[in-house]
Amino acid sequence: MKTIKMISMTLLIGLFLIMSTGIYAQDPMKAGPKVYKKVLLNNDKVRVMSVEFAPGQVMPWHSHPHHTIYALTDGTLEITDKGKPASIAKFKAGDVLYITPVTHMGKNVGKNTIKLVVTEIKPPMKK
């Protein structure tokens, strides 16, 4: 009986760890459908998404491969990368950023809705 309880507890802890890892590696379209509004293009090279952050809105933990951000409007986001303290990112309309693979969350700490275009660069397909 003690062995069964020990095995059950080990499986439960393992399941919890697997599920908690998934929290930090979610697809942004699934993690934040109120922020990531629409996939504009999706092929074997890139995925392009329209993003809108209302003031105070939070984008939960999610991950990206290499990606770019194009700001359509001005705004201020608080960005928290996994394992790091939060930082403030100020955008001006027309700004373009390149970002390496990351797991992060964000919050619009400004006064206006921020509109962005995020382009994820997909890794080359193996032949």
pLDDT (tens digit, 9 = 90+) per residue, 73-102? 999 999 999 999 999 999 999 999 999 999
pLDDT tens readout for residues 40-52: 999 999 999 999 9
CATH of 34-121, one of 3.40.50.10490, 2.30.40.10, 2.60.120.10, 3.40.190.10: 2.60.120.10
24 pLDDT exceeds 50? no
In this prediction, residues 115-122 reach a mean pLDDT of: 98
Q: Report the pLDDT value the prediction gives residue 8, as an integer from 0 to 100.
A: 43
* pTM, to two decimals: 0.79
Burial of 39: CB neighbours in 10 Å, binned 0-12, 13-18, 19+: exposed
Write down the domain spans for the chain.
34-121
Q: Which neighbouring-strand residues pair with 51?
A: 36, 116
